[in-house]
A and B are shown apart, each in its own frame.
Chain A
């Protein structure tokens, strides 16, 4: 704001104003629903998750193994070459502890979230997932973790076929 300007424009509206049923507000709710095709790469990815396996794609030009898989390499901008099976183990790249649900409601039991760099994928290639069966105080960057899968008969071809990643017990 310039000191030369004296009138600042705009009218504050309180939460109560917005809740009131008079002419100040109008309400509506879109009723749009969607059915997405999972596409070429993700259909295979989801099928293999149902089989209890994680699959990526290799680009032979940059020699990266990419997870989530894609049919093209965004760096080389060419078609990727082959499917590669990845272990269900990896290391925590970063993590957070969420006291908010998806709608920003407060929750008592936190959701433990992490980016897990997967063994067998290229360095820095991670996926978003949750952590479980872990002492919050002990979670750390670099912690070795492994996927905990749903029982085979409960898997439906979704990233949630992995329940969460848990620490690998030190031997």
Chain B
């Protein structure tokens, strides 16, 4: 790997996450972008190029929506591109920004992620009907939650995981989100609340799932030289990785996300991390479902196969534990405006590593890992941030 330049994060911004927001996608993009620029002490004049991360067009109901969002992202008459890997988009968007700057092509890049799921009525789930192969899968009338339930059950059965341990992820993340001002579903709940919540698609229950949401987030990336001009406390993107597995998902091992491991290995190699559980201080793995946080801890090589649930039960992943996981509150607590939720995790790393996270602060945080996941359970996107 030949990385020409180190890339810094110098600003981060986020909007409120809610089931419905009044602002258009364009307006939300503007709010997040503007907040990130303000936090960097920059204006749009300082920005060389823009990367937009936004996930399925079908939720907004605007085909090729990145073009529609362009003005709100400040990209008018600038080099602009959209990156897209389904649910993995949020963490992929700063990777897209990274290669613009690391290559030496640009000194500054504004990364914006937007999602509005509320326009799709009565429920955004209907838009997911068009994700499936039209010939061999759609005739079965699948609901997207099916595949997660199938994966979760396979994971539980293979390692004999008690549902109680998985439920603890919801308790932790919704609790962590109480300290996140943007949060949509922050709550103090118990394991019993999760286990007694409505069964949606067994073993997935109501409180195992993150909500549909509207929201936006943004980061400002710069070269090292530019970063030094604007801040004494840059955060560095020291590793990036991404990998996609076969779309023939019924032909894959549903028990271990190999594609996440491939992405993580790439990012760790770049960041010169050889012992992830020791060298990573906290992580923001993608948690649209409770079990996914555990699955992804294993994919990120932060836990051995099948052992993430026990670490959770032992309190290791609490904000004050040895390996805090989702100190932000994650998608389960803060909300899941898909691409914006992934970028929210990178914003959280920025704030944690700058010691600005307030009540959410993880003490001694020097190295963080964020990860997102999506498409037909086949994509892993990973970033390593350091202060």
Binding site for B on A (CB under 8 A): 1-5, 8-15, 17-18, 24, 28, 30, 34, 36, 38-39, 42, 45-46, 66-68, 70, 74, 93-104, 110, 113-115, 124-130, 141, 158-160
Contacts and interface: CB of A to CB of B under 8 A. Distances in A.
B201 A97 contact: yes
B225 interface: no
20 contacts: A1-B351, A10-B17, A13-B21, A15-B19, A42-B136, A46-B135, A66-B248, A93-B154, A94-B151, A96-B150, A98-B145, A99-B202, A100-B201, A102-B126, A104-B123, A115-B154, A115-B250, A124-B251, A126-B250, A160-B139
A2 B181 CA distance: 9
A5 B214 CA distance: 20
A103 B140 contact: no
Contact of B28 (A10, A124, A125, A127): A10
Main secondary structure of the interface of B (DSSP, over half): mixed
Interface of B: 12-23, 28, 31-32, 35, 39, 61, 118, 121-123, 125-126, 129, 134-137, 139-143, 145-146, 149-154, 157, 180-182, 198-204, 214-215, 246, 248, 250-254, 347, 351, 354, 356-358
A74 B154 CA distance: 24
Nearest to B245: A74
A109 B252 CA distance: 29
A156 to B, nearest CB: 10
Contacts of A159: 136-137, 139-140
Contact of B250 (A45, A104, A127): A127
Contact of B203 (A4, A42, A66, A96): A96
B23 A96 contact: no
Contacts of A141: 153-154, 157
A115 B149 contact: no
Contacts of A93: 154, 250, 254
A43 B18 CA distance: 44
Contacts of B250: 93, 115, 125-128
B14 A100 contact: no
B23 A98 contact: no
Nearest to A7: B35
Contacts of B31: 9-10
Nearest to B179: A1
A8 B215 CA distance: 12
B253 A42 contact: no
A96 B153 contact: yes
A94 B254 CA distance: 9
A166 B155 CA distance: 23
Contacts of A103: 122-123, 125-126, 129, 143
Contact of A42 (B32, B135, B141): B135
A56 B351 CA distance: 52
Given A8-B16, A98-B145, A100-B200, A66 B21 contact: no
Contacts of A128: 137, 140, 142, 146, 250
Contact of B22 (A24, A38, A70, A97): A24
Contact of B356 (A3, A11, A42, A97): A3
A126 B157 CA distance: 17
A41 to B, nearest CB: 10
B154 A39 contact: no
A141 B155 CA distance: 11
Q: By CB atoms of chain B within 10 A, which of A11, A45, A127 has the most?
A: A11
Contacts of B151: 94
A124 B39 contact: no
B376 to A, nearest CB: 11
A113 B157 contact: no
Nearest to B203: A96
A148 to B, nearest CB: 15
A24 B24 CA distance: 11
A113 B28 contact: no
B20 A45 contact: no
B253 A124 contact: yes
A115 B149 CA distance: 11
Listed from nearest, the 6 A-B pairs whose CB atoms lie closest are: A10-B16, A96-B149, A3-B358, A104-B125, A94-B154, A97-B202
